[in-house]
Chain A
Amino acid sequence: DGGITQSPKYLFRKEGQNVTLSCEQNLNHDAMYWYRQDPGQGLRLIYYSQIVNDFQKGDIAEGYSVSREKKESFPLTVTSAQKNPTAFYLCASSIAGGRGTGELFFGEGSRLTVL
């Protein structure tokens, strides 16, 4: 089945450590996105990528980094510079980014807790 796979589902981190969240899609989508969701809150865009080897900052990029070396993969690193990293992280993809209005599909999310 085609879809978006996020891992790990749960992750615990000590303060000062970097962690990387994985996102893989086999939908052959060009565009991929990372969102952050805090309890009872909406979706805030961290980074997005419309094509391989290119990505743009979203609304809350500080303390995060991404790479897009392969079409199917868009890992997110939460760095020690992120002051409040405990949150639910969602990866998404769509067939086209800047041009077109293809459907946006989400993964099941990764819950990061900083101890």
Chain B
Amino acid sequence: GENVEQHPSTLSVQEGDSAVIKCTYSDSASNYFPWYKQELGKGPQLIIDIRSNVGEKKDQRIAVTLNKTAKHFSLHITETQPEDSAVYFCAAKGYNFNKFYFGSGTKLNVKP
């Protein structure tokens, strides 16, 4: 089955700096890669996603890049703010997969 690995497990940055979280996947059949933000005590919220027919997608300060050849995708947050502090999860799914496969999460701390 699919295996998704996520790094780093914790990330601390200064407000205004950029943050990058990386994920790798093992199954070339995966074609949908969402990213979730989870605040303390709440359910994960989808913040951005990318499908395998594109290499990059941006939404204001957030961007995701996908390298299908290397089987990795990354979340980029620019001009970080304290409210970006949360746990971020990556995931992968393929067209014929019955379920989503999640990374282990990255705890991002943005210091004011």
Contacts and interface: CB of A to CB of B under 8 A. Distances in A.
A and B form one complex: yes
Interface in A17-52: 33, 40-43, 45, 48, 50
B98 A56 contact: yes
A78 to B, nearest CB: 18
B98 A42 contact: no
A101 B94 contact: yes
A2 interface: no
Contacts of B32: 101
Given A42-B103, A43-B89, A107 B43 contact: yes
Interface in B47-97: 49, 51, 89, 91, 93-97
Contact of A33 (B89, B96, B99): B99
Contact of B102 (A40, A42, A56, A108): A42
A101 B98 contact: no
Contact of B49 (A40, A43, A103): A103
Interface in A64-115: 90, 94, 97-101, 103-109, 111
A55 B43 CA distance: 22
A63 interface: no
Given A42-B105, A109-B42, A100 B95 contact: yes
B112 interface: no
